[in-house]
Structure 1
Amino acid sequence: MTALRLGADRLPERVGELADLLADTVNAGASIGFLAPFERERAAAWWQGRVDAVATGRLAVWVALDGGDRVVGTVSLSFPFPDKPNSRHRAELVKLMVHRDARGCGLGRRLLAVAEEAAAAAGITLLHLDTETGSPAEHLYRTAGWTRAGVIPDYAADPAGVLRPTTLYYKHLDIPAG
């Protein structure tokens, strides 16, 4: 797996592949903010809407490429600053996705590590995220050293429209010496 950070100049080139990944993830049952069925066109529009956030540095996006240069996973970091100057030390991990065809080989864990390492290199000392309680992603975060902060009942609808609880996690990062 090759991990590649997409700038605002490169994100539009990959919107189609990212749309396929997003639609696949939602339609496979992952609760990442959308309801199923989720069409590729809506997924492409959502990704296209992220270009400005990437251009202004409010969002960082990485893709995982298979040996054939196909996008098979992604992860992003969302930064609350410059809107919140008191939050320069933290970021939110968002939209960690692995295509169904690429699951079960540690790709999610590798993408998580890429985001954590990049955050630490950027001076971020605290990451946080939310995930559907009881989801496979929850196991990943626990085993990767994230700390469970609590559960919010009926936080979001899953892709089928059923309200589900969400678990909040955080992780302190060590800044590399340098």
Structure 2
Amino acid sequence: MTRIQRLSSAELLAAADALGDLLSDVVDGGSSLGFLAPFDPGAAAAWWRSLAPAVAHDRLAVWTALDGDRVIGTVSVAFADKPNGRHRAEINKLMVHRTARGQGLGRTLLTTAERAAAAAGVTLLILDTQTASPAESLYRAAGWKEAGVIPDFATDPAGTLHPTTLFYKRVNDDPVKPVDEASRVAVQTST
């Protein structure tokens, strides 16, 4: 049975090697996540370790999907730090290991991140993904709205330029209210 777990900064550091293996697998499988293939799992683990301060300061929330002790998926939410943007956050690095795809795990991770962001007072989520990628259809099916396409935005892992599609989703029907930073942190640490 798959278990979804939110990581503390210490847990992120402990899981960095397993997350590095996941990131390396997903990049080497052709997913555009900001890295080029081949992507060494050790370098990928180091990238995950570099995120621990952001997790410790509640600027980033990271979840893993575990099959036993094996990390088979992850998603992150990056919270805006500007006073005029605390109502929004960005979905980052939604990934599922190639051996675990097609079972709804991507949708489960996305829903987990959306609900946690809403519970933290976020009302607007944004993300970007390579245009025409399998991820694009996942976001559309989950109710995300296209905001536009930017041509030649990033390369795929092989180094070929591709456009990216920007998406947004409102996750709370309440009018936008200023988010109290102290309550956002309290909600995040209790999930």
1:19 corresponding residue in structure 2: 20
The AA in structure 2 aligned to 1:116 is: E
Poorly superposed stretches of 4+, deviation over 4 Å = none
1:115 corresponding residue in structure 2: 113
Find the residue that maps to 2:36 and give its secondary structure: coil
Deviations 1:15-45 (CA, angstroms, capped at 9, x unpaired) = 1110000000000000010001100111011
The AA in structure 1 aligned to 2:113 is: A
Deviation, structure 1 residue 175? 6.3
In the TM superposition, 1:69-84 aligns within 5 A as 69-81=69-81, 84=82
Structure 2, unmatched stretches of 5+, are 175-191
The AA in structure 2 aligned to 1:172 is: R
TM (norm. structure 2) is: 0.89
In the TM superposition, 1:48-59 aligns within 5 A as 48-59=49-60
Q: In 2, distance between residues paired with 1:148 and 1:160?
A: 26
Structure 1, unmatched stretches of 5+, are none
TM (norm. structure 1) is: 0.95
Whether the 8 Å contact between 1:124 and 1:175 is mirrored in structure 2 is: no
1:102 corresponding residue in structure 2: 100
Find the residue that maps to 1:17 and give its secondary structure: helix
The AA in structure 2 aligned to 1:115 is: A
Q: Percent identity?
A: 62
1:163 corresponding residue in structure 2: 161
Deviation, structure 1 residue 127? 0.2
Question: What is the total number of aligned residue pairs between the two structures?
Answer: 173
1:135 corresponding residue in structure 2: 133
Deviations 1:125-158 (CA, angstroms, capped at 9, x unpaired) = 0000000000000000000000000000000011
